Structure 1
Amino acid sequence: MTAMTAEISTAQPLVSLKDMVEKTITSNPEVQARYHKFLEAGYEQEVARGNFLPDANIVSTYRKQEEMIKLNNGTATPRMNNELVLRQMIFDGFATSNDVKRLGHTSRVRYYELQSAMQNTTLEFMRAYIDSLRYRELIQFAKDNYVVHKQLFDRIQERVTAGVARKVDLEQAGGRLALAEANLLTEMTNLHDVTARMQRLYGDLPPDTLEAPTFFNGGVQPSAAEALKLAYLQNPDLLAAMEDIQAKEKEIKTSEARYMPRLDLQARKNLGTSSDGENSNAAADVLELTMNFNLFNGFSDSNLVKQSAERLNGSRDLRDKACVDARQIVSIAYNDINQLAVQRTYRERHTTSIENAREAYRRQFDIGQRTLLDLLDTENEYFQSKRSLANTQYDLQVAYARVYAGQGELLRKVGAARGNLPEYSREEYMDAENVCQAVAPVQIIVDKEALLANAKPLSSTYTSLAKP
């Protein structure tokens, strides 16, 4: 009873995949850096919005001025003066309004960059998570394979010692045993490395028990073109590029504001006194409207507009790059899903056939129709078939994760989310800026019947071997 209680008390609680992903996207340093960039962009917009409001300043001056005429009426210019200045921008060529809009789009750029970082980090985490499950299973296969090879090696060694088997058989069995040990060490190393990957992303060592993922049960769209259409609507890198185009367009308008006059309303109240304690004539309150119209500043304004225009062209190029990148990612991953699903069927058939042959070889060995080396051959092929089937199954899960990440769907498929983030609706200008074409490469399908019909007949040697 005591032993059972101790075992239960030391067992780790099961941590769900959803909880692990949410911990990753809220504590991973790369994601956190993007999150703070997003917050920074929001404050930057508020800084620009402050230009709509008045600013108040107290200006203190100390003056040493030569007096040409001695004044005795108490209106001398004060040596020390304090002045309250209140200034309100009336018109600045819409520079402030366009700058606020630009920074609003920039904030959305940072938001989608954060979403991209979360999707990519989740994808990287899912790769490590699935690989952890993969190598834990492959280690068990390698252990079983090693045990069988060691048992068969010992039996062959007994037969060689008894003089009923050849020494070369023992050498061959020893080589197979060494390979089985090497395979076991390889899988253990792979598990160690993938555990380090998970620790980097997750922040802690993974638990001993990992939940079997089910995020891929929803499947994918019936065609690659439809999968691409969804990616073009939701891929965060593409959305960030389209928001950046809007930001650069507003930047051009902000630069063009330099061609317009600026109007400011300014109020000044002089708080200073003259050196003899009397108020000076400079103490009068002033309310004035000022206009500043730049006539020439060395072509800086026109070059600034051209610079902003080139930035806009660069943003459009990055938008096009995001299109082709999303198309490549989703197209390849979508095709991998289809091909791996078919491969899984063949590998299951192969594993079943080899397992049946393995059992038949064991029965034939019992009646003297097979040697121990024959058993080693079937055991090795059975081990390789199980490894191939397991790798195919886990590769299929990774392919689903890659498609979902390319579509901006991976977090939702896992059921994870990060709190305290706004939800932005899709704007009309995104549809206008979306120039991506949902055209995916066509997978080549081999006509097996035509392939066999056009094949050369077997040579006479193979034909004679095929005859009973």
Structure 2
Amino acid sequence: MRNNVSQTLKKSVAALAVAAVLLPPAVSAQSLEQAVASALDTHPQIKQAFNRFKASEEQINQASASYYPTINFDAGIGREWTESPSTRRDSALYGVDENVDLTRREIGVSLRQVLFSGFQTTNEVKRTEYEASAEQWTLFSTAEDLALEVTRAYLEFMRAEQVVVLAERNLASHQTIFEQVKQKTDSGLGSTADLSQVTGRLARAHSNLISAQNNLSDSRVAYQRLVSVAPQDTRIPVPDAIMLPTTLEQALSLAKENHPTLKAAGSDINAAMAQRDASKSNYYPQVTFDLSASWDDNLDGNDGTTANPNDTIGADVGGNSDEVLAMVRINYNLFSGGADRAREREAAYSINESKAIQLNAYQDIEEGTTLAWNARVFLKQQMQYLRQHVEAALETRNAYDDQFKIGQRTLIDVLDAENELFQARREYLTAEYDDLIAQYRLLNATGSLLESLRITTPAVWDGENSNTGGAQS
């Protein structure tokens, strides 16, 4: 697009003057691609989205843990004071103290494997996978939007830079006219009214330059906030014409097919469906396999080595307890007060909410795509007339200047012509950059801005489980 505009501008000497302003040389330039890559590497929004994605991947691992058995080990040692029917009986029979104080020891290990959970584990794994997929697509969407922000800031900075150049040229022209009029006035050939008029216009030119410099400073700050470095030696980027859609219908189709926000919304719908399926698990019995072993000593006031004072052998009569247990258990909840039905209805509402969010996202993307497309169409038409305005204003300014020198034009005519040329150049400059921004907006709307900039996202964004594969609803 930029090359086409430049070729058209070369058709006239006036257009060459415009092009000289709009096309500064780029030596050791900081490209748009470099700026976007720097922002993706440093911006907090990207770091937030990335860490949310990685956290959601860990939730997959948590859900998958239910496929494996749980193994627990417990042990304890301490003093146990016991007064019970057993100790009182021993006290009556053997004449010992009915209060028994022993060192109690316990060791146990247990294993539980869930054999059937009503498909809860399977559905929970699916849910977390889809949620991770949604976070992953959100990360890509955040990167696309940040790339557009950087692009806009990059182009706004360049536009502000060139408006300063125009303002400086405008000031120089007014300064030249002022000096000419002042020289005439000092020699008695000019009027003080003309000097006052040109003095006021010169002050306005100074004000325009200061305003342009202020805007340049603001745009530099906005750029540095996004990219983390100050802009330097920027150059006009050229959008990838091959990736730009040629019709609005094609643009909308590409947006619907490729935009990461829509894919994230699709994954959210799938996650809600998996949540609904998981909520039905309580309608089934839970089957588990339990394996446990325990070794206990000195329980319940019974000495594990000596039964009573009259025993001549250290027989074990209950102080020691060793147990190994292997069981298959079934647990079936028959009534929970309607909580299971309510949980299922909650999940159904969540599905409808996710679908509404997806529809809203599509409407937003459709609107953004259409607006970007319309901006391109109308800006193309507008730029033709703005270019003609610049050419005509330049010719008028030159003609008025020549005519003023021979007394055929007033000073106000010359000053008005100079100001109109400045305004025409600034409007054309604004339109040209708006056209570039519209093209990048269109690439962003179709979800292909990063691809068009040839920026490769880090491999770690692909995740551990290929989550993007499950993003379609």
TM-score range, shorter chain: 0.7 to 0.9
Shift of 1:240: 0.8
Shift of 1:427: 6.1
Which of 283, 289, 310 pairs up with 1:259?
Answer: 283
Aligned CA RMSD, in angstroms, stands at 2.4
Provide Cα deviations, 1:376-406, integer angstroms capped at 9, x if missing partner.
1111111111101111110011111111111
1:107 counterpart residue number: 132
Distance 2:162 2:264 in 1: 40
Q: 1:410 to 1:308 in 2, by over 3 A?
A: same
Matching of residue 286 in structure 1 with residue 295 in structure 2: no
Which of 5, 17, 20 pairs up with 2:35?
Answer: 20
Which of 137, 140, 143 pairs up with 2:168?
Answer: 143
Share of identical aligned residues, percent?
Answer: 27
2:462 counterpart residue number: 422
Q: How many residues align?
A: 416
Shift of 1:12: 9.2
Distance 2:82 2:120 in 1: 40
2:23 counterpart residue number: none
2:120 counterpart residue number: 95
Which of 374, 384, 387 pairs up with 2:423?
Answer: 384
Amino acid at match of 2:152: R
1:152 counterpart residue number: 177
1:213 counterpart residue number: 237
Which of 388, 393, 399 pairs up with 1:360?
Answer: 399
Amino acid at match of 1:390: L
- The answer as to whether partners of 1:228 and 1:330 remain within 8 angstroms in 2 is yes
Matching of residue 188 in structure 1 with residue 213 in structure 2: yes
3-state DSSP of counterpart to 2:329: strand
Amino acid at match of 2:65: G
Shift of 1:124: 0.7
1:239 counterpart residue number: 263
Shift of 1:334: 0.6
Provide Cα deviations, 1:144-191, integer angstroms capped at 9, x if missing partner.
101111221222233333343333322222221121111111111111
Q: 1:300 to 1:65 in 2, by over 3 A?
A: farther
Q: 1:280 to 1:58 in 2, by over 3 A?
A: farther
Which one is further off, 156-165 or 238-247? 156-165
Provide Cα deviations, 1:4-46, integer angstroms capped at 9, x if missing partner.
xxxxxxx995433222211211210011100000011101110
- The answer as to whether partners of 1:260 and 1:293 remain within 8 angstroms in 2 is yes
Q: 1:338 to 1:64 in 2, by over 3 A?
A: farther
3-state DSSP of counterpart to 1:285: strand
Distance 2:64 2:176 in 1: 78
3-state DSSP of counterpart to 1:291: strand
Matching of residue 80 in structure 1 with residue 99 in structure 2: no
Q: How does 1:14-53 map onto structure 2 within 5 Å?
A: 14-53=29-68
Which of 236, 260, 269 pairs up with 2:293?
Answer: 269
- The answer as to whether partners of 2:32 and 2:151 remain within 8 angstroms in 1 is no
1:124 counterpart residue number: 149
Amino acid at match of 2:177: L
Q: 1:64 to 1:343 in 2, by over 3 A?
A: farther
Which one is further off, 270-279 or 197-206? 270-279
Name the larger-Rg structure.
Answer: 2
Distance 1:217 1:93 in 2: 54
Provide Cα deviations, 1:41-76, integer angstroms capped at 9, x if missing partner.
10111011011001110133677665544799xxxx
Shift of 1:78: 9.3
Amino acid at match of 1:356: E
1:58 counterpart residue number: 73
Amino acid at match of 2:45: E
Question: TM-score of the superposition, structure 2-length normalised?
Answer: 0.82
Distance 1:358 1:23 in 2: 44
Which of 244, 248, 253 pairs up with 1:224?
Answer: 248
- The answer as to whether partners of 1:64 and 1:79 remain within 8 angstroms in 2 is no
- The answer as to whether partners of 1:90 and 1:263 remain within 8 angstroms in 2 is yes
- The answer as to whether partners of 1:48 and 1:100 remain within 8 angstroms in 2 is yes
Matching of residue 315 in structure 1 with residue 354 in structure 2: yes
Gaps in structure 1 of 5+ consecutive residues: 1-10, 434-468
- The answer as to whether partners of 2:71 and 2:109 remain within 8 angstroms in 1 is yes
Distance 2:104 2:356 in 1: 60
3-state DSSP of counterpart to 2:326: strand
Matching of residue 249 in structure 1 with residue 273 in structure 2: yes
- The answer as to whether partners of 1:15 and 1:210 remain within 8 angstroms in 2 is yes
Gaps in structure 2 of 5+ consecutive residues: 1-25, 91-101, 306-315
Amino acid at match of 1:54: P
Which one is further off, 130-139 or 164-173? 164-173
Q: 1:352 to 1:218 in 2, by over 3 A?
A: farther
Q: 1:408 to 1:66 in 2, by over 3 A?
A: farther
3-state DSSP of counterpart to 1:15: coil
Which one is further off, 40-49 or 296-305? 296-305
Which one is further off, 31-40 or 307-316? 307-316
Distance 1:87 1:329 in 2: 54
3-state DSSP of counterpart to 2:297: coil
Shift of 1:216: 4.3
Which one is further off, 62-71 or 81-90? 62-71
1:305 counterpart residue number: 344
1:200 counterpart residue number: 225
Which one is further off, 260-269 or 170-179? 170-179
3-state DSSP of counterpart to 1:82: strand
Provide Cα deviations, 1:186-242, integer angstroms capped at 9, x if missing partner.
111111111111111111212x20132112433622211110000001111111111
3-state DSSP of counterpart to 1:218: coil
Distance 1:410 1:240 in 2: 17
Q: 1:225 to 1:426 in 2, by over 3 A?
A: farther
- The answer as to whether partners of 2:285 and 2:332 remain within 8 angstroms in 1 is yes
Which one is further off, 219-228 or 141-150? 219-228
Distance 1:174 1:158 in 2: 13
- The answer as to whether partners of 2:133 and 2:468 remain within 8 angstroms in 1 is no
3-state DSSP of counterpart to 1:294: coil
Provide Cα deviations, 1:347-383, integer angstroms capped at 9, x if missing partner.
1111112212222223323333223332211111111
